[in-house]
Structure 1
Amino acid sequence: MRDSIFKLVQCWEWGAQHFDRVLKLFAGMILFSLMLITCVDVLGRYLFSSPLVGSVELTELLLGSLIFATLPLITWRKEHISVDLTDSIIPTAIKKVRDSIFNILVGISLFTIGFKIWDLATRSQRYDEVSEYLEIPIYYFTYFLAISCWLTAITSIVLVVTQAFNKQYDNQG
């Protein structure tokens, strides 16, 4: 029994490590695309008096995707903005309980938000909703937002489990 649990944990860690790399690569590609769109748009405006058509629309869609693509990474690394005014006077055991409760609430909230966003994506697909200028189907991005919320929720719940076993990974803050 113990060996099977150990193998399950190893598989989980291996998958999480590769998924971490994939999300970083995806976020890097989005960031590079944003940079490229901005450069082409600025050069087009000032050198040719012709801006890149739909650059604002692409920037909006890619920026939203970048934020949601990095949300699971930020959660895993515990890099959210936090105010720790009372952390120096609260005992460590209470901080662990507080953090676990917080992560559980975040996980439940993001699962709920993910389902709501998924419903919006389904409705967007049903109505064939597209962006204003480039006519890009919006539901692709909306489905991605929902999936990202669910991945972040799972990450929050996994943080509760790893904290319960006092497990700390190299890529966590």
Structure 2
Amino acid sequence: MPEALPETTRPRGAFGLRAALAVLGGVLLMALMGMTVTDVIGRYLFNAPLRGATELTELLLAAVVFLGLPAVALADEHVTVDLVTDRMPAAVKPWRGAATGLFSAVVLAVVAWRVWVYAAQIGGYGGTTTTLAIPIAPLGYFCAVCTGFGALLTALVPAHALIRHLKGH
């Protein structure tokens, strides 16, 4: 896997945004952990599981995964496989990064669009979770926005690195 971009090649303000995403992701993970512990203790010690714990786990897990997309894109730490590209000349690396970033951003943008359409369909018929009747559409819109933001960052971060490379920084 190629090295992530050094902090100096990342866009300004990236540290604050990464910190905000990390804090929000940490809060969601802590909520997920606390709910799971409460459910397990309730289930095995008191024979009283937490009502709707499975639904809440699914919703929180989806939120954490999709919240991670912009964080990964901002850090330029997408999972990559270098079978051929590691043998390319170093001068090609920034160009390759920008091209793959643009291609990946287009794919993520299509995913964001389709998730948005799906969330609208769910919202159209009032889809909710089974036990707690939590509306599902808002989570779908959240996932679509996170994916769209991840797509934007997936294109911009490598493009920023290419521009800095061309300027000689």
Provide the aligned C-alpha RMSD in A: 1.7
Specify the code of the residue in structure 2 equivalent to 1:164.
L
Aligned partner of residue 125 in structure 1, secondary structure: helix
Q: Aligned pair count?
A: 155
The aligned counterpart of 1:7 is none
- Structure 2, unmatched stretches of 5+, are 1-10
Distance in 2 (CA, whole Å) between partners of 1:76 and 1:46 is 42
Aligned partner of residue 130 in structure 1, secondary structure: coil
Counting aligned pairs with the same residue, the percent is 31
The aligned counterpart of 1:75 is 73
Distance in 2 (CA, whole Å) between partners of 1:151 and 1:88 is 28
Q: Which of 107, 110, 123 does residue 108 from structure 2 map onto?
A: 110
Aligned partner of residue 165 in structure 1, secondary structure: helix
Q: Which of 149, 153, 157 does residue 159 from structure 1 map onto?
A: 157
Distance in 2 (CA, whole Å) between partners of 1:43 and 1:151 is 38
Question: How do residues 6-155 of structure 1 correspond to structure 2 at under 5 angstroms?
Answer: 13-14=12-13, 16-155=14-153
Post-superposition offset of 1:46: 1.3
Distance in 2 (CA, whole Å) between partners of 1:42 and 1:161 is 47
Using structure 2 for the length normalisation, give the TM-score: 0.84
- Superposed CA deviations along residues 17-68 of structure 1, whole A, max 9, x for unmatched, are 4332221111011100110011001100111011111111111111111010
Post-superposition offset of 1:162: 1.1
Using structure 1 for the length normalisation, give the TM-score: 0.82
- Structure 1, unmatched stretches of 5+, are 1-11, 168-173
Specify the code of the residue in structure 1 equivalent to 2:87.
I
Assess if the C-alpha contact under 8 Å between 2:95 and 2:162 holds in 1: no
Please, which moves more after superposition, 127-136 or 81-90? 81-90
Assess if the C-alpha contact under 8 Å between 2:42 and 2:50 holds in 1: yes
